Amino acid sequence: MASSGVHVRTSVHVSARAFTYLVNEINRVFLEAIQSSDLDPSDFVANQKVIENGLRTWMTLRQLEVAYLEIYDPRSDEVRTRVDLAIEFRDTGDEHYRTEIERVRSELGKSGKFAGCRYRVVVTTTPGAAPVQGWSDTTLRDVSHLSRYDIGEVIGTARAGALLSILR
Amino acid sequence: MQMRYVLGGEQRAFAISDSDDLAELCAEAEGYLRREHPELADREYLTEQVADALLNSLAVDDEEVDLGQLA
């Protein structure tokens, strides 16, 4: 019984650390994308707490499906590029934390600069996801004019990973 | 697992299971709070508060989860 209790506690602690790491790294990737696009990160930074609260809540509940950074031209409302991080939940035993930030930077660098554009963070969740302060329902803008590039997993932990796709 | 919180100026605690599923723990704790405290039954963002506390406490290997001030 004692060893079983230790195992359970360790496992849940690994999950908590993994989800915390993943949320921090999603924020890091989005910030990289904003900066590499020559956009002002101050809106992102000002809303970082709200963004983190949403991601943390939906990660904990395994309700987060995809986190998107949508960069659009406010004059035409057309999406210029979109960074997608699709969440894949898993249960591997080995505790690890990995972000392929150089690969992320290299791929983001191919998208170009978007001075004068605006951005927003959007997520898709499973049906019935918990409400989070500061978040509201929305619809993703049309991206049918863009091509999708699937890069693969760029953030990895024992309990979940994030797969990067870039639409440009 | 022990959960601590403050309600009406009073420090309180309750126990939840030793599940290794954070979503289950969150639902269990939230269910307890809504059942035990009618004033929390309709609180819209209680899930967010419980989930945040679970991650904050468990990510640093705490044995107890501190939910903080609930009202």
ipTM: 0.94
Chain A and chain B share a number of CB contacts under 8 A equal to: 68
pLDDT of residue A20: 98
- Mean pLDDT, residues A107-117: 95
Q: Does B58 touch chain A (CB under 8 A)?
A: yes
Mean of per-residue pLDDT scores for chain B: 95
Kindly state whether A129 is in contact with chain B, defined as any CB-CB distance less than 8 angstroms.
no
| Helix A48-60 with B46-58: angle, nearest 10 deg | 80
pLDDT bucket at A137, cuts 50 / 70 / 90: very high
pLDDT value at residue A92:
83
The domain tally of chain A equals: 1
Q: Would you give the DSSP letter of residue A35?
A: H
Domain that includes residue A78, residue range: 2-167
Which residue in B16, B25, B52, B55 has the most chain A C-beta atoms within 10 A of its own C-beta, making it the best mutation to test that interface?
Answer: B55
User: Shortest Cα distance from B21 to chain A (angstroms)?
Assistant: 7
Q: Give per-residue pLDDT as tens, A78-94.
A: 999 999 999 999 988 78
